[in-house]
Amino acid sequence: QTSIHDFPHYNPSLSDAGDSEAGDHGQPRDLRSLPLPMAIKKAKLRGIQVPVLSKVELWKQEKLKKLRKFQTQAREFLYFLVLWGKTIQKIGGNFGGGVKSYFLFLRFLVVLNFVSFLLIAGFVIIPSLVFRQVGTSNERCTIYEPNPPGLVVFYNFFLDLLSGTGFMEYSFMFYGYYNNTMVGNNSFSYKIPLAYLFTAVFYFAFCLICIIARTVVNYSMIVFNGWNFGCLGETATKLKQKNLLYRLQVDLEEESLKKRAASLTLLKKFGLHSLRLLMALLVLGLNIAAFYGISYATTYSQVNDVKVMDVTHDGVQDLFFEYLPSIVISVANFLVPLLCDQIAKVEHYSPSITVIVALLRAVVLRFVGLGVLLFTLWDQITCTGNMDDAKCKECSYNYCWETRVGQEMYKLTLFDLLINIAVLVLVEFPRSKVSQLVGRQEFVVSSNVLGLVYSQTVVWTGALFSPLLPLINTVKFVILFYCKKITLFSNCRPPQKTFRSTTSAFFFLVVLLLGWMLASVVMIYSIAVIHPSRGCGPFRSSDNMWSIIPTSFYNLSALTKIFFNISFFTLTNTGSGLFLFLQESRDKQFLMTKIPFGRYIYILYLPLQD
């Protein structure tokens, strides 16, 4: 053992004097920089006098320590409360960051839909339930009685729950339940139509802000925390090595494909591009066939629904016709991408381009298919623009067309959930029993994320006509989380091939924003253009939904009008002043860039003047 006596004698007092003479203003030198053994350093450290603090400074230090301790405990408590925090961490450790990103995105949508439901419930649903007033009218176009009279067979309640008809149709689930009344007294008033419209607009704005905020957070996390320095353990290290190995393979394969494409002759290039054009036309034909099937199924379902009002049919048959558009859309979303994947194998694109092309085709199919469904619905609602038609001549449109659109979005959401549960029970559970024979599959992140985006787009589209859709989507995504978790741990292996995370993150963001834009177009058209139905809803007496805003403004008191006018005048002047300030700064920058050029011209023409 090493003893203190084995080292040269050290006098702490001499060292202190030397430190003071060194010009350190009485402060001891850093002990870590001294070439002394640890025992002597500890002895010197014990000999240093601790400065005496005042009571105020001691109180500040204690408060600072307590505050830091409270922040640490609060951070740990909030981490404990994070939804599925440990589960998602476990998924990331076993299956990598790509699969983890899917579940993080799913959790984001769960929270987004739940907060949106709280917003809608607080401003629309609860006031409508508390201040419920039922009006009566003898006009034919304002009579709306979807509930069947008399006794109803019990299983019809289950069918109504699945299709959104019967007792569900005239509930706070759909647009037709809400009145166009203003409730309150002299000290308080609440206008349901105005609250309904403002809540819908703010709901869309809130979702857009959340998407943009999430994008900024993800970008900053990638910039500052992109590299994982905490890969501990053999499994995590091997997974990271496989990920890096695949990235190198992707780069090398793309470079080899570029060299091969550069070495092709003109005839071979013409043949390759002709083949790609032929495959693109084939994909276009598949999409057109799918869109025609969706349009035909929607038209047939609506016509059959009109016939059912007059003739009684079997309940299961009626339910099939109700779900016919949802069934056709789900079949198209399943079969067409599979065929497109087989077509992509003969197009000879690079791996990254192949993935992007496949995702782009799936996005076009899903969003345009949803647009075809909505266009066909509105074509039926507006009688294809022929106002002399018997169905539209008396009351312009359907008695409650908004509820009809909400029912279609409700059935799409519910059917997608039922399909996921059926796949889990009928496919994934049996597959887990024979996974050792057939092997484990990979969890395809791209197609699963597109499914989430499509579901969220359906909810955005139908939220104006079915205010409870965000709550239903919250429950659906919670169930979907556990279904995907069971599938992941039972039948899936860590992915061996992934595409670039930066490209995928950007593409998923673009797809989500495209879904929001599609739903926004539907909302703007419904609010500003098409005539509200006369039989139901808070806007039954208006020319369009937006007209309620100027009408409400004209009915305000004089003092309130002055307040809004002053606020609007102040905001516009502030905005115009800021715009002028920015323009002046840009003009000055432009002139500063022209100063060197002016000096050059002056020097160039100066001898000519002499």
Q: How confident is the model at residue 20 (pLDDT cuts 50, 70, 90)?
A: very low
Domain end marker among 503, 528, 547: 547
pLDDT of residue 431: 76
Examine the domain organization and report whether 353 and 481 are in the same domain: yes
CA distances from 76 to 68, 452, 597 (A): 12, 30, 61
Q: Tell me, yes or no, whether 79 lies in a domain.
A: no
Q: What is the CA radius of gyration of the chain?
A: 34
Beta strand 492-493 with 441-442: parallel, antiparallel or unpaired? parallel
The span from the CA of 445 to the CA of 98, in Å, is 7
Closest by CA to 383, choosing from 370, 401, 366, is: 401
Q: Tell me, yes or no, whether 304 lies in a domain.
A: yes
Examine the domain organization and report whether 382 and 489 are in the same domain: yes
Q: Tell me, yes or no, whether 75 lies in a domain.
A: no
Q: Tell me, yes or no, whether 597 lies in a domain.
A: yes
Q: Tell me, yes or no, whether 220 lies in a domain.
A: yes
> 385 — phi, psi (to 5°)?
85, 0
Domain end marker among 214, 237, 263: 263
Closest by CA to 417, choosing from 328, 370, 477, is: 477
Q: Is 530 left (phi over 0), alpha (psi -120 to 50) or beta?
A: beta
Q: How confident is the model at residue 136 (pLDDT cuts 50, 70, 90)?
A: very low
Domain end marker among 547, 566, 594: 547
- Summarised one tens digit per residue, pLDDT across range 267-311 is 777 777 788 889 889 989 999 999 999 989 888 887 776 555 545
Q: Is 188 left (phi over 0), alpha (psi -120 to 50) or beta?
A: beta
Examine the domain organization and report whether 128 and 235 are in the same domain: no
Q: Tell me, yes or no, whether 328 lies in a domain.
A: yes
CA distances from 457 to 51, 154, 370, 513 (A): 65, 34, 9, 9
Examine the domain organization and report whether 218 and 325 are in the same domain: yes
Examine the domain organization and report whether 251 and 190 are in the same domain: no
pTM of the model as a whole: 0.73
Specify the DSSP element, H or E, that contains 57: helix 55-81
User: Percentage of residues in the chain with pLDDT exceeding 90?
Assistant: 14
Number of independent structural domains in the chain: 4
Helix (H, G, I), strand (E, B) or coil at 460: helix
Examine the domain organization and report whether 183 and 316 are in the same domain: yes
H helices of 401-443, in order, are: 401-423, 429-433, 435-438
Handedness of CA 480, 485, 491, 496 (dihedral sign): positive
Examine the domain organization and report whether 240 and 372 are in the same domain: no
Examine the domain organization and report whether 312 and 449 are in the same domain: yes
Quick one: average pLDDT of 235-242? 59
The span from the CA of 293 to the CA of 337, in Å, is 16
pLDDT of residue 51: 60
Examine the domain organization and report whether 167 and 295 are in the same domain: yes
Examine the domain organization and report whether 257 and 275 are in the same domain: no
Task: Supply the DSSP symbol for 188.
Answer: -
Q: How confident is the model at residue 184 (pLDDT cuts 50, 70, 90)?
A: low
| Residue type, position 573, single letter | N
Q: Tell me, yes or no, whether 57 lies in a domain.
A: no
| Residue type, position 141, single letter | C
Range of 467's domain?
92-227+271-547
Helix (H, G, I), strand (E, B) or coil at 492: strand
Chain centroid, CA 70 distance in Å: 33
Closest by CA to 164, choosing from 413, 356, 352, 369, is: 413
- Summarised one tens digit per residue, pLDDT across range 139-183 is 455 555 555 555 556 677 788 888 888 788 888 889 988 887 766
Cα angle 442-444-446, degrees, rounded to a multiple of 5: 165
Examine the domain organization and report whether 146 and 243 are in the same domain: no
H helices of 468-557, in order, are: 469-491, 501-528, 548-554
Examine the domain organization and report whether 18 and 119 are in the same domain: no
pLDDT of residue 243: 56
Residue 249 has pLDDT above 50, yes or no: yes
CA distances from 326 to 115, 333, 369, 490 (A): 27, 10, 11, 29
Helix (H, G, I), strand (E, B) or coil at 314: coil
- Summarised one tens digit per residue, pLDDT across range 124-135 is 988 888 876 655
The tokens describing 459, both together, are 């909810």
Q: Tell me, yes or no, whether 253 lies in a domain.
A: yes
The span from the CA of 530 to the CA of 533, in Å, is 9
* Residue 184, beta-bridge partner list: 189
